[in-house]
Amino acid sequence: MTNRPAAGDAGTPAGVAARLTGRPVTGERPLSPALAEVTLDDGHLVMVKRADDPGAARAEAAGLRWLADAGTVRVPTVQGHDDHWLVTDLVRSGPPSTAAAVRFGRDLAALHAAGAPAFGAPPPGGLEDAWIGLAPMRNVPGPDWPRWYAGHRVLPYLRRAVDDGIVRGAEAAVVERACERLPELAGPAEPPARLHGDLWNGNVLWGDDGHVRLIDPAAHGGHRETDLAMLRLFGCPYLDRVIEGYQDGAPLADGWADRIGLHQLFPLLVHAVLFGRSYAEQALTAARRTLAQ
């Protein structure tokens, strides 16, 4: 741990923590170019995160608070933020466990049931032009999930992937056909759920107190199966037990497992835009499997 002055330099994580929390700082430990662990004067540990895009930290803070307001899944408490910096409580990590996984599933079901004003609705105080990871993401409300999901989640990233040469025009038609058939493939209509929105395994922290905490949300109103599909896409410890807990809390509609690929189109195309062709191929495979049903 690197010692710092009580107030610190305003441009350093220590200085940011002092400014945004109003507390003296006694130490700083860099974790990455954009992340640092900072110790406040009473020994309390916080994480300080820098976001390059203006407003990104504010959007993330709004998402964390919206998830916390549901009183279900745990998230780190927001201690302060501005447009470029976010300060939250540190999560002390522990090993994954079956008990924590089942509890997380139940809590996630309750989070989704807390609802949202509309599909695409941003959190209170959030942004219409937000982000998922490093990719832009627009939170534009829509009246029904199939049309909103196609128009504001799948097709914008497909078009960008085509423009960037990651997906060929003939291939794009496969995803477009899947979008056209969304009304018949989406399953029973459901109300807007309160989504984490970027629920891959890296954003699921297993705490040393036996509770899961979620970080880095791209929170918005959406379909609850999308969060679950993203958990499966990138793997999650004890995922079957998470699903078990979820089903205990709020049973999923019949056929939900057959719709996983449909819900994975969005994160796969986001990753294709950010990281290249291999994710585009996975998205095309998911679209073909969806059309084969």
- Residue 228 tokens read as 């679950």
Structural domain harbouring 55: 2-89
Select from 68, 89, 110 the last residue of a domain: 89
Select from 46, 70, 89 the last residue of a domain: 89
Q: Which residues are CB-contacts of 249 (< 8 A; sequence separation ≥ 6)?
A: 105, 106, 107, 108, 109, 110, 113
> Does residue 125 sit in the same domain as residue 207?
yes
Tell me, what CATH number does 268's domain have? 3.90.1200.10
Say yes or no to pLDDT of 293 above 90: no
Tell me the per-residue pLDDT of 6-30, one tens digit each, with 9 for 90 and over. 344 568 999 999 999 999 999 999 9
The residues with which 132 forms a beta bridge, in sequence order, are 135
The Cα 93–Cα 211 span in angstroms is: 10
Tell me the per-residue pLDDT of 127-168, one tens digit each, with 9 for 90 and over. 999 999 889 999 999 989 999 999 999 999 999 999 999 999
In this prediction the pTM is 0.93
Tell me the per-residue pLDDT of 242-276, one tens digit each, with 9 for 90 and over. 999 999 999 999 999 999 999 999 999 999 999 99
> Does residue 81 sit in the same domain as residue 116?
no
- Residue range 22-47: average pLDDT? 95
Tell me, what CATH number does 48's domain have? 3.30.200.20
> Does residue 75 sit in the same domain as residue 148?
no
pLDDT of residue 8: 44
Q: Is 144 one of the catalytic residues?
A: no
- Residue 242 tokens read as 């998470």
Tell me the per-residue pLDDT of 110-129, one tens digit each, with 9 for 90 and over. 999 999 999 999 999 999 99
> Does residue 83 sit in the same domain as residue 112?
no
> Does residue 218 sit in the same domain as residue 286?
yes
> Does residue 68 sit in the same domain as residue 130?
no
Query: How many structural domains comprise the chain?
Result: 2
> Does residue 83 sit in the same domain as residue 221?
no
> Does residue 155 sit in the same domain as residue 52?
no
Q: Looking at 198, 227, 248, 254, which residue is catalytic?
A: 198
Buried b (16+ CB within 10 A) or exposed e, 185-204: bbbeeeebbbbbbbbbbebb
pLDDT of residue 3: 39
> Does residue 145 sit in the same domain as residue 265?
yes
Strand ranges in the chain using DSSP code E only, listed in sequence order: 2-3, 25-32, 35-40, 45-50, 78-81, 85-89, 129-132, 135-138, 193-195, 204-206, 212-214, 220-222
The Cα 36–Cα 89 span in angstroms is: 12
The Cα 152–Cα 182 span in angstroms is: 13
